[in-house]
Amino acid sequence: MGFSEIFAEEAPTREAVDALRGAAVVEFGAPWCGHCMAALPHVQAAFAGFPQVRHLKIEDGPGRRLGRTFGVKLWPTLVFLRDGVEVARLVRPLATGPIADALAQIAR
């Protein structure tokens, strides 16, 4: 649980994500993405206060279905889930505050 620094090449199914219990964040992006690299310190800093929240960092791109099921168009996109239901979403965050605020919404 908690922050993950590495993008997973193998994505879970949408059904598996929808079945997650508790607080989770699905982050879509790519390791070479400049916007993802710029957001990384902010995501990491925000997660420091929420180690109990699961972080699924998923490599996205052509032929990758999970991102399409969430309507991802720009990277990074962070989808904040509570019991598999989307509660908040941030696209290309450039500050720690909004990420921490969204984490607080799901971490009850």
| Domain assignment of residue 54, given as a range | 14-106
33 within a domain of the structure (yes/no): yes
pLDDT of res. 43: 98
108 residues of the chain, pLDDT tens digit each:
789 999 999 999 999 999 999 999 999 999 999 999 999 999 999 999 999 999 999 999 999 999 999 999 999 999 999 999 999 999 999 999 999 999 999 997
Q: Is the pTM of this model over 0.85?
A: yes
63 lies in a domain?
yes
pLDDT at 102: 98
Say if 9 falls within a structural domain: no
- The domain spanning residue 45 has which CATH number? 3.40.30.10
Nearest to 107 by CA among 43, 45, 47, 27: 47
Answer yes or no: 42 catalytic: no
The pLDDT value recorded for residue 26 is 98
**Is 44 a member of any domain?**
yes
Does residue 75 fall inside a structural domain? yes
Confirm whether 71 is domain-assigned. yes
- Report how many domains make up the chain: 1
55 noted as active-site residue: no
Choosing from 2, 22, 29, 33, which is the catalytic residue? 33
Burial of 56 (0-12, 13-18, 19+ CB in 10 A): buried
